[in-house]
Chain A
Amino acid sequence: MAHWNVGIDVGGTFTDLVAINEHGEIRATKTPSTPDQSDGVINALARLAGELGEDLSAFLAGLPMIVHGTTVATNALLEYDGARVGLITTKGFRDEIEFRRSYKESVFDPRLKPPHPIVPRRSRLGVSERVDFKGNVLTPLDEDEVRAAVADLKAQGVTSVAICYLFSFVNPAHERRTAEIVREMMPDAFLSLSCDVLPEIREFERVSTTVVNAFVGPRVHAYLSHLESRLREKGFGGELFIIQSNGGVLSADEAGRYAVNTLLSGPAGGVTAGSFLGTMSGHDNLITVDMGGTSYDIALIENLRPAVTTESWIGRYRIALPMLDIHTIGAGGGSIAWVDSGGALQVGPASAGSYPGPACYGRGGTRPTVTDANVVLGLLNPDFFLGGEMVLDKAKAVEAIRREVAEPLGLGVVEAASAIIDLVNNNMANATRLVTTKRGHDPAAFALVAAGGAGGIHAGKQAEELGIRTVIVPALAPVFCALGDNVADLKISESRTSIARLDQLDFEAFNEVFQEMEARARKRLSEQSIVKSFETRRSLDMHYVGEVHEVTVPIRSRTRRITKLNLDATLNDFHVLHERLFAHKDVKQPVEVLTLRLDLIGIRERPRMNAAEFGEEDAAPALKGHRPVHFAVEPTIVPVYDGGRLKPGNFILGPAIIEQWGTTIAVYPGHECLIDAYGNVIVEIGQGGAAG
């Protein structure tokens, strides 16, 4: 019997599953997501077992592992449906979480409302204690006050306690002692210590991250235990893993402890899959975009490593942990087209979602959407949506666009539909360009990976607008995140602030901090059975003395100890990177280290992917017909190919349409495409096919 690896990603609409066995055989399914996410997970597994002709419990019994991407943490935070949290903090500083460093989401809105407090002030209690920036105790911890605070929180019904003191990243003793007292008095409480969650300088960032961990932690923990016990009941004997916001996976147990790390558990899979695809296709620099029903996610991959940021806000809370840098805008198949009061056409950010969804879904939606426009233009086949599982009503799409866009603007229906598509393409391209230039790059130097159900239709136009020459539509585009769950390595990101000027560094102490971090990370990974080997990546957050922002610079040492030689090379890299990011450097200026970072990667066996031999160039055997498509106002009759029957080596000259399970790919006039050895569709963009 074959041994399968399974990745399951729960999205807003669908629960996606990708399974790969040791022979390189791949299966993918899509089932509707459910309010209790574990139902969707079980349904997806049952469906896979069914397709394989196996009984679910027999199948689960033979399954060594499941990697899971879940939105439980995200939903808890965005819907403010988390634990009853209490915060114990330094006396005089209990309001930091709400001060937010005076940040406003909208600078110019005089009606902006205050954020919902995930820990109300009555549950934020200050205690006498104070440590200075060198770790010296200015005021000893008053344990009686701690006890009184814990008693108060307990009486309030708090079930999750966050502890965050000033400068605990230098001297965590007061936080640790407080935790002991909490454990004594509230043995069942979930605990979140800032010296564990984020031992870094900047109190607002630290307290916000620690409190969010306390808020979502119990929910995530409960969900994972619930899922695991349901799987066990059904016979699952393997191990459950969760993909985290940094793109690495961890066992459910470990993931539950630092639940704040799972806030991007869903989209992280897609970016990870992007790196994997880059390895397969020989592209080191990629922009991955995922276009679904409501949103468009953009992420950058440089040298096969996804870009990471510590600058995230999720909802109205700041998460300063390293997370994949995924930028989201409100543009998707369900984005609604509307004419504003000034008579201008707009698309999004409002979405018809999946219910009622676009007008053509025929579920009562009357507002025209991007999907409706694609149907009207012939880019989408109404009879082949989700591989024919759903039939779209073109007449309803025409009617919605005619009534809400064409007539108000005095345009024909086709012109209006094409205007909607031009606008949404433009919105997505503008956002992608800004994401790229923000990191000091030109999008033209990247290949575009288009995932998600709607990605393949729009990618060619995106590439034209961004000057990109290659688009890759992965064979598993509609379930790309679940593919990422299959290929992601294990990863623990550790950090510790330890401020020192580089020219005055105490190497002994410096190496000691790295060793402590590595020991801690190894301990957490030691239980993880699937690790084949380890890789340690160390980096430093550095800046010129006096600067307020840092650059994260990798240390190029492979040995355990860091020497002066390593640091000289790192310093050199710092100047270069500083210049690339900020356009200037100053080699005479003293440089300071702020935070030490260590990623411990537990490398797992890559799933086998079978590369097929290239056959005929001629794609005619996969041709399933012709249909008119409006690439311009006048329709062109273009060939339509069945993606399921295309073979590696097939070559198609645009214009053409490829319809495959879960997605449609538009090959625009002037573009040409090749099916690669893994079934990915590689589109090359001709020069000069631009707007105008």
Chain B
Amino acid sequence: MRGLSEIQRQILWSRLIAVVEEQAQALVRTAFSTSTREAGDLSAGVFDENGLMIAQAVTGTPGHVNSMARSVGHFLARFPAATMRDGDVFVTNDPWLGTGHLNDIVVVTPVFRNGAPVAFFAATVHVVDIGGRGTPIESRQVFEEGLLVPISRLVDAGAIVEPLLELIAANVRDPVALRGDLYSLIAGNETGGRQLLRLMDEYGLDTLAEVAAFIFERSRAASIAAIRALPAGRWTHDVTADGVDQPIRLVATLSIGEDGIDIDFAGTDGPSPYAINVPFCYTEAYASFGAKCVVAPAVPNNAASLATIRVSAPVGSILNVARPAPVVSRHILGQLLPDLVIGCLAQVPGLDLPAESAAPLWPVVLTGGPGRVEAPAATLADATPFVVASFHSGGTGARPRADGLSATAFPSGVRNVPVEVTEAVSPVVFWRKEYITDSGGPGAQRGGLGQVLEIASSEAKPFAINASFDRTAHPPRGRAGGGPGGAGRLVLDDGTPLTGKGHQAIPAGRRLLLEMPGGGGHGDPRRRDRSRIAEDLADGLVSAEAAKTVYGFEGE
């Protein structure tokens, strides 16, 4: 093979990124699950013959960034490339080898050229149901959370392995959707493979080795240059989450060195008996995302750029939990990790970074009808059965030079379902969905505001919420003198408090209030521009009381 020019290599790189974007697009288009389609809860990437990720599509969820990058290595350990045949496809949803819980399914497809695999395509989507209890917190072992498919051959030289598919379908509540998602993953990888071969034809390539080496060298150089622009040193930070039965303390130590960044979670608490534990792959994904989005956001994700940020957590800690711990709600702690890492980086001289965000999403999962609410059977006899879910969020932390985003998620990028759609498919009525005054952490730059949802049954029947909410006792903290955002809260309209985690009933005739946390503030609130305080006051984002006592505002 003749050598490629520098520009040709660079064009090949951007073509490879376009190929995985197309793979991801095929997946978004064909997937059944709402979260894939509406929220971009998926990932797609291409890997070299050694299982190293060369390019990844930019999609909605940082949780898949690094975890999926690692997964192809696990597949190759189980099925060495030499044992693969053209037309094979492999699958797993092992939380420890994939992306952290059973609902995420990873599919890997080898691409053959001249009789040997030259690349692999991998893709992940989140499926709504994978069997098991279907509750967010209560499981005590992973076995209760649904079906675990070990790394297996899903398609054997072009023929679907029907017994495996039947086994999976028999263990889930919506087998049609699950089959659909599996076919969609297979088709997405196939699209990627076809485009890759076309590209290799066009450039007369037999292997991707040369272009992969170029991508790795460039990415590593750019990442290292960005890291070396920062002073070397070591910084520690911690954050406390509500947990379930007791608070959970997470500790990170971040070191910046000549050849990369190391993040270690020594000092972090041990595992929880409830399903908020985190497999290491997911810890690595969110921790490295937290560093990368600050230090080198422009460098594309691949094995080399990700390798410059190394993550470790003590074996057996809640961030590196051992089997068979329950892990289905691993996102609660996982989504706190970017803020924890940013908390370390904020101590680096010269880096001015946002305050803490509400971080973990607030998935509003409501259920009703017989058998789905803890209430006397008689009162539920004629209640309409339903399950609805929508992902909501509190506010983000204030930026060093701008206010935070209100009621918008960070680090997740999930969109929520309109009230009108939810009401059209279930017997609920939303009476309020608006900002909570004073919930944005005070600061020279104000944190994004949290929101309150006020929800009732339209049939005046009892209904239930599957709560998996955090930051109720430990609100997002401010930075550089900024104050904390408002804490999250669950309460009934008569003042009865509920807890942040677990399945809970709302009695007939009562309304449920969900108050989501606000983001932390940045800088001393007394130094906030007076005209902006006046505006916040006029807009009811800040109360007169807070303007006076917290911001020291006496009028313009």
Which A residues lie within 8 Å of B294 (CB)?
110
C-alpha spacing A202/B422, complex, angstroms: 10
CB distance from A517 to the nearest CB of B (A): 20
Q: Is the CB of B421 within 8 A of A108?
A: no
Which of these binds chain B: A64-72, A216-224, A434-442, A518-526? A434-442
Given A95-B407, A102-B393, does the pair A548, B37 have CB atoms closer than 8 Å? yes
Q: Name the interface residues of B343-399: CB closer than 8 Å to any CB of A.
A: 353-354, 391-393, 396, 399
- Residues in A with CB closer than 8 Å to B183 are 583-584
One of B14-22, B70-78, B145-153, B162-170 at the interface:
B14-22
- Interface contact A108-B293, CB-CB below 8 Å: yes
Q: Does B342 contact A (CB under 8 A)?
A: yes
The docked-state distance in angstroms from the alpha carbon of A582 to that of B399 is 39
Residues on B with C-beta less than 8 A from A138 are: 429
The docked-state distance in angstroms from the alpha carbon of A201 to that of B424 is 10
For B418, list chain A residues within 8 Å (CB). Answer: 101, 201-205
Tell whether B207 is near chain A: CB-to-CB under 8 Å. Answer: no
A118 to B330, CA, bound (A): 38
Q: CA–CA, A227 to B423, complex, Å?
A: 46
A584 and B182 alpha carbons, distance in the complex (Å): 12
Q: Which of B29, B59, B433 contacts A93 (CB 8 A)?
A: B433
Number of contact residues on B: which range applies? 35 or more
Contacts of A560 in B (CB 8 A): none
Q: Which residues in A have their C-beta under 8 angstroms from that of B187?
A: 583
Binds A, one of B89-97, B131-139, B408-416: B408-416
* B-contact bits for A79-112, CB 8 A (1 contact / 0 none): 0000000000000111110111111100111111
- Give chain A residues whose Cβ lies under 8 Å from the Cβ of B7: 345, 419, 422-423
Other-chain contact of B413, A107, A343, A586 (Cβ < 8 Å): A107
* Closest chain A CB from B481 CB (angstroms): 19
| 0/1 interface trace, chain B 438-465, chain A, CB 8 Å (1 if under) | 0000000000100100100010000000
Asked whether, in the complex, the Cβ of A101 is within 8 Å of the Cβ of B22, the reply is no
Q: Is the beta-carbon distance between A104 and B413 smaller than 8 angstroms?
A: yes
A18: shortest Cβ distance to chain B, in Å?
Answer: 35
A113-B538 Cα distance, complex, nearest whole Å: 21
Partner of B402, one of A102, A114, A423: A114
What residue of chain A has the Cβ atom nearest to residue B218's Cβ? Answer: A342
Pick the residue among A104, A430, A438 that contacts B14 (CB under 8 A). A430
B420→A201 contact, CB < 8 A = yes
Q: Which of A110, A133, A345, A437 contacts B293 (CB 8 A)?
A: A110
A344 and B410 alpha carbons, distance in the complex (Å):
31
B29 and A581 within 8 A (CB):
yes
Q: How far is the CB of A413 from chain B (nearest CB, A)?
A: 14
CB distance from A64 to the nearest CB of B (A): 45
A437 engages B203 (CB within 8 Å) = no
Q: Whole-angstrom distance between the alpha carbons of A132 and B427 in the complex?
A: 10
Q: Does A683 contact B (CB under 8 A)?
A: no
A167 to B430, CA, bound (A): 12
Residues B405 and A92 in contact, CB atoms below 8 Å apart: no
Chain B minimum-CB-distance residue to A121: B539
The answer, yes or no, to whether A690 is at the interface (CB within 8 Å) is: yes
- Any B CB within 8 A of the CB of A561: no
B25 at the interface (CB under 8 A from A): yes
A120 vs B535: C-alpha distance when bound (angstroms): 9
Contact assessment for B30 and A583 in the assembled complex, using a CB-CB cutoff below 8 Å: yes
Q: A133-B424, A691-B202, A692-B203 are in contact. Are A438 and B25 (CB under 8 A)?
A: yes
Report chain B residues within 8 Å CB of A132.
423, 429, 458
Q: Taking the complex as formed, is A341 at the interface, i.e. its CB lies under 8 A from any CB of chain B? A: yes
User: B202 touches which one: A114, A130, A692 (CB < 8 A)?
Assistant: A692
> Contact between B434 and A95 (Cβ–Cβ < 8 Å)?
yes
* Distance in angstroms between the alpha carbons of A427 and B13 in the assembled complex: 12
The answer, yes or no, to whether B10 is at the interface (CB within 8 Å) is yes
- A111 lies within 8 A of B421 (CB): no
Cα–Cα distance between A484 and B37 once the two chains are bound (Å): 35
Q: Which residues of B (103-148) have their CB < 8 Å from a CB of A?
A: none
Contact in complex: B180, A108 (CB < 8 Å): no
B432 at the interface (CB under 8 A from A): yes
Which residues in A have their C-beta under 8 angstroms from that of B37? Answer: 548-549
What separation, in Å, do the CA atoms of A94 and B448 have in the docked complex?
16
Are B40's CB and A92's CB within 8 A? no
Whether A203 lies near B539 (C-beta < 8 A) is: no
Partner of B204, one of A120, A126, A692: A692
Specify which of A112, A345, A438 is in contact with B405 (CB 8 Å cutoff): A112
Q: Are B535 and A111 in contact (CB under 8 A)?
A: no
Contact between A548 and B417 (Cβ–Cβ < 8 Å)? yes
> Which chain B residue has the least Cβ–Cβ distance from A438?
B25
- Contact residues in A for B410 (Cβ distance below 8 Å): 110
A626 CB within 8 Å of chain B? no
CB distance from B409 to the nearest CB of A (A): 5
Q: Which residues of A contact B402 (CB under 8 A)?
A: 111, 113-114
Residue among B15, B191, B396, B432 making CB contact with A426, cutoff 8 Å:
B15
A95→B342 CA distance, assembly (Å): 29
Is residue B34 contacting chain A, with contact meaning CB distance below 8 A?
yes
Residues A690 and B202 in contact in the complex (CB < 8 Å), given A102-B392, A113-B399: yes
B492 an interface residue at 8 Å Cβ cutoff? no
Interface residues of A in 566-593 (CB under 8 A from B): 581-584, 586
Q: Which residues of A contact B399 (CB under 8 A)?
A: 110-113
The CA-CA distance from A133 to B8 in the complex, in Å, is: 57
In angstroms, Cα B429 to Cα A114, docked, is 29
**Distance of A554 from chain B, by nearest CB (Å):** 20
Instruction: Please tell me if the beta carbons of B420 and A166 are within 8 angstroms of each other in the complex.
Output: yes
Q: Give the interface of B toward A (CB within 8 A).
A: 6-8, 10-11, 14-15, 18, 21-22, 25-26, 29-30, 32, 34, 37-38, 40, 58-62, 176, 180, 183-184, 187, 191, 202-204, 218, 221-222, 225, 289, 293-294, 297-299, 338, 342, 353-354, 391-393, 396, 399-400, 402-411, 413-421, 423-424, 429-435, 448, 451, 454, 458, 535, 538-541
Task: Report 22 cross-chain contacts, Cβ distance below 8 Å, ordered by A residue.
Answer: A93-B419, A95-B433, A95-B434, A102-B391, A104-B408, A108-B58, A110-B399, A133-B423, A167-B420, A201-B420, A341-B222, A342-B225, A343-B218, A422-B8, A426-B11, A437-B22, A548-B34, A583-B30, A584-B30, A584-B180, A690-B202, A692-B204
Q: Which 9 residue pairs of A and B lie closest in terms of their CB atoms, listed nearest first? A: A107-B413, A92-B432, A342-B222, A121-B539, A583-B30, A430-B18, A419-B7, A113-B402, A122-B538
User: A-side interface residues toward B, CB under 8 Å?
Assistant: 92-96, 98-104, 107-114, 120-122, 126, 130, 132-133, 138, 166-167, 201-205, 340-345, 409, 419, 422-423, 426-427, 430, 433-434, 437-438, 440, 499, 548-549, 581-584, 586, 690-692
Sample of 6 more A-B contacts, CB < 8 Å, known A104-B408, A343-B218, A692-B203: A107-B413, A110-B338, A114-B406, A120-B535, A691-B8, A692-B8
